[in-house]
Structure 1
Amino acid sequence: MTDERTALIFPGMAPTKTGDVSRFLMINRKARERLATAEDVLGRRLLGPAREDGDVYDEAAQVVFMLTCLSLAEWAEDALGVKPEICAGPSFGQKALTSYTGVLSFEETVRLTAELSRCEVSYFESDYSDVVTHCFVRTPEEGFAEVLAELKDEFHDVSGVIDEGFYLLSVREKDLERVKARVRAIGGYSMHTMRPPVHSTYFGGLRRRAEEEVLSGFTLRDPELPVVADQDGALLDSAAGMRRMLLDTFDRPIDWPSMVATLREQGVTSLCFSGPDNLFHRVDSTVANFEVRTVTPAMALKPRSRA
Structure 2
Amino acid sequence: MNKIAFIFPGQGAQYVGMGMDIVENYRAAAEVFDIANESLGFDLKRLCFEGPNEELIKTENTQPAILTTSIAILKVIDELGLKAEITAGLSLGEYSSLVYSGAFKFEEAVKLVKVRGKLMQETVPLGVGTMAAIIGLERDVVEEVVRESSDAGVVECANYNCPGQIVISGEVKAVEKACDVAKEKGAKKALKLSVSAPFHSSLLRPAGDKLNEELKKVSIAEMKTKVVSNVTAKIIENESEIRELLSKQVFMPVLWQDSIEFMIKYGIDTFIEIGPGKSLSSFVKKTAKKLGVKVTTINVENMTTLSKLKEFLS
Residue 286 to residue 74, structure 1, CA distance change in 2 (3 Å)? farther
The code of the aligned residue for 2:299 comes to: T
Task: Measure the CA separation in 2 of the matches of 1:295 and 1:141.
Answer: 30
CA contact (8 A) 1:99 1:106 kept: yes
Higher helix share: 2
Q: CA deviation at 1:247?
A: 1.4
CA contact (8 A) 1:17 1:53 kept: no
Aligned residues, how many? 299
Counterpart in the other structure of 1:259: 259
Q: Secondary structure at 1:254's aligned position in 2?
A: coil
Identity %: 18
Residue 57 to residue 105, structure 1, CA distance change in 2 (3 Å)? same
The code of the aligned residue for 1:135 comes to: A
Which deviates more from structure 2 when the two are superposed, residues 200-209 or residues 292-301? Answer: 292-301
Q: Secondary structure at 2:232's aligned position in 1?
A: coil
The code of the aligned residue for 2:158 comes to: S
Deviations 1:212-259 (A, max 9, x none): 2x1121121221101111122221142112223211211221112321
Task: Measure the CA separation in 1 of the matches of 2:78 and 2:28.
Answer: 12
The runs of 5 or more residues in structure 1 that have no matched partner are none
TM-score normalized by the length of structure 2: 0.84
| 1:177-196 correspondence runs (5 A) | 177-185=176-184, 186-191=186-191, 192-196=193-197
Q: CA deviation at 1:69?
A: 0.7
TM-score normalized by the length of structure 1: 0.86
The one of 12, 17, 20 equivalent to 1:19 is 17
Q: Secondary structure at 1:262's aligned position in 2?
A: helix
Q: CA deviation at 1:35?
A: 0.9
Task: Measure the CA separation in 2 of the matches of 1:132 and 1:118.
Answer: 17
CA contact (8 A) 2:10 2:90 kept: yes
Counterpart in the other structure of 1:293: 298
Residue 82 to residue 14, structure 1, CA distance change in 2 (3 Å)? farther
Deviations 1:123-142 (A, max 9, x none): 234xx861112221212456
Residue 188 to residue 232, structure 1, CA distance change in 2 (3 Å)? farther
Deviations 1:116-175 (A, max 9, x none): 2222233234xx861112221212456535532431312211112222222111132244
CA contact (8 A) 1:14 1:276 kept: no
Counterpart in the other structure of 2:110: 110
Q: Secondary structure at 1:161's aligned position in 2?
A: strand
Q: Secondary structure at 1:197's aligned position in 2?
A: coil
Q: Secondary structure at 2:280's aligned position in 1?
A: coil
